Structure 1
Amino acid sequence: MSIALQTQGLGATLAGRRVLHQIDLCIAAKRWTCVLGPNGAGKTSLLKALAGLLPHTGQVLWQGQALSTLTRQQRALQLSWLGQGEASTPDLRVWDVAMLGRLPHQTWLDGPSAQDQAMVEAALKATHAWDWRERPLGELSGGERQRVLLARALAGNAPLMLMDEPLTNLDPPHQVDWLEQVHCLLAQGTTVVSVLHEIGMALHADDIVVMHEGQVVHHGAAGDAATHAAIESVFAHRIRIHALKGQWVVLPRV
């Protein structure tokens, strides 16, 4: 199994509070890994550390190379990032926001190439945002903006995509669209790591990392009974995971 991301003794502190505790983790390449856990478990902190956006102790390795040795340009070509509640200039056109995802592929002197334009068009159409391409971002609803920001991430066409709460503000049909886009990325050989609150959606992933109080308490296949038990445990056994017509569903514990 090829490893896309690896951490060794990863730790991090925010506002004087330890949020990650000596995490050793290997994330498989060309698979979808979802990070689950209750609020405050350290999920977003882990994702930001993997992206190099959060100061940390220990090491993060991308395909065996220390993150600290990569230039900003190299990171941008390797990684597409979709953060939680990202701000963006409301006056920017939707097209220009999505084109930001292509900046790592451009030089200072050259404008967008034909390939850049084709990638942005494909990303906007994949997220059903093409019809808004001339509208300012500030005119869009929260869910519509989220789809544009997803298009920006897709346009980057990086081999690694990290997404923190990508389903925020998306209605159920567009959540299903997102799931289809993830499967398309996997078919292209992209490694996807996401943080989700929607446990039922997360169970469609290949692998699940379960976190609690800044630690990884379990890492395994999404369909394994041990993974389900770990998820139920960190949510204080208030839920149960049940098979229904070939799908895993999340039900309240009664």
Structure 2
Amino acid sequence: MTHALQTVDLNASLGGRRVLNGISLQIAAGRWTCVVGPNGAGKSSLLKALGGLLPHNGQVLWHGQPLEQLSRRERALQLSWLGQGEASTLDLRVWDVAMLGRLPHQGWLGTPSDQDTQMVKAALKATRAWDWRERTLNELSGGERQRVLLARAMAGNAPIMLMDEPLANLDPPHQVDWLEQVHCLLAQGTTVVSVLHEIAMALHADDILVMAEGRVIHHGASHETATHTAIEAVFDHRISIHALAGQWVVLPRTDQGCAAPTR
């Protein structure tokens, strides 16, 4: 098995507080790895460090090559990024936002090629944002903007895609659409790494990386009992994972009692 991403003794701090603690891991190429854990576990920090967006100690490797040895252009061609709560200039057209994903493929001051145009068109259609291509972002809802930003990331056609909370503001049908697009990316050989709060959706991934307090507690296949046990543990056993109709479902525990104040 080849590895798209690796870390060796990865450490990072934010505001003087350690957010990543000695993480060494290997993420398989061509698979979907989902990062889960409670708030403050270091999930987004890990994703940013993997993408070279967070200063860190230790080593990050892309396809075996140290990240610091890659030029900006090489990084942009190898990895697409969809961040949490990303801001874009709201007066940009949807088409222009999606075309930003093709910039690494264009020369300095170059104009979009026919391939660029086709890639952007395909990405907008895949995310069901094609009908808005002439509208500006400020005319769209939060969920619609998220779909446009996903189209921008997909248009880059990079072999690695990192997504931090990509389901934010998406209603259930469009969450299902997102899942379908992830499977399409995997079929093309793309390595996908996502941070999700939606545990039931995360269980559709190939592999799950469970985090707590800036450390990796468990890294294993999504169907393994050990993975489910680790997920339940980091959420203080307030949830439980069960098989239902061929899928994994996440249920709240019902034996925790009432924590509301009594009158």
Partner of 2:258: none
Alpha-carbon RMSD across the aligned residues, in angstroms, is: 0.4
Q: Which amino acid aligns with 1:25?
A: L
- Rounded to whole Å, the distance in 1 between the matches of 2:12 and 2:138 is 34
- Rounded to whole Å, the distance in 2 between the matches of 1:182 and 1:140 is 23
Unaligned runs of 5+ in 1: none
- Rounded to whole Å, the distance in 2 between the matches of 1:180 and 1:91 is 30
Unaligned runs of 5+ in 2: 255-263
Partner of 1:14: 14
Q: Normalising by the residue count of structure 2, what TM-score does the alignment of the two structures yield?
A: 0.96
Secondary structure of the equivalent of 1:86?
coil
Partner of 1:218: 218
Q: Normalising by the residue count of structure 1, what TM-score does the alignment of the two structures yield?
A: 1.00
Partner of 2:232: 232
Indicate the percent of aligned positions where both proteins have the same amino acid: 80
The alpha-carbon deviation at position 64 of structure 1 amounts to 0.5
Matched ranges for 1:189-228 at <5 A: 189-228=189-228
Which structure is larger by alpha-carbon Rg, 1 or 2?
2
Output one character per residue of 1:217-242: Cα deviation in whole Å (capped at 9) or x when no partner: 00000000000000000000000000
Partner of 2:179: 179
- Rounded to whole Å, the distance in 1 between the matches of 2:166 and 2:135 is 22
Secondary structure of the equivalent of 1:145?
helix
Q: Which amino acid aligns with 1:246?
A: G
Partner of 1:146: 146
The alpha-carbon deviation at position 253 of structure 1 amounts to 1.2
Output one character per residue of 1:118-161: Cα deviation in whole Å (capped at 9) or x when no partner: 00000000000000000011110000000000000000000000
Aligned length: 254
Find out whether 1:49 has 2:49 as its counterpart. yes
Find out whether 1:90 has 2:90 as its counterpart. yes
- Rounded to whole Å, the distance in 2 between the matches of 1:103 and 1:54 is 22
Q: Which amino acid aligns with 1:206?
A: D
Output one character per residue of 1:159-180: Cα deviation in whole Å (capped at 9) or x when no partner: 0000000000000000000000
Post-superposition, which runs of at least 4 consecutive aligned residues in structure 1 deviate over 6 A?
A: none
The alpha-carbon deviation at position 110 of structure 1 amounts to 2.0
Find out whether 1:34 has 2:34 as its counterpart. yes
Find out whether 1:71 has 2:64 as its counterpart. no
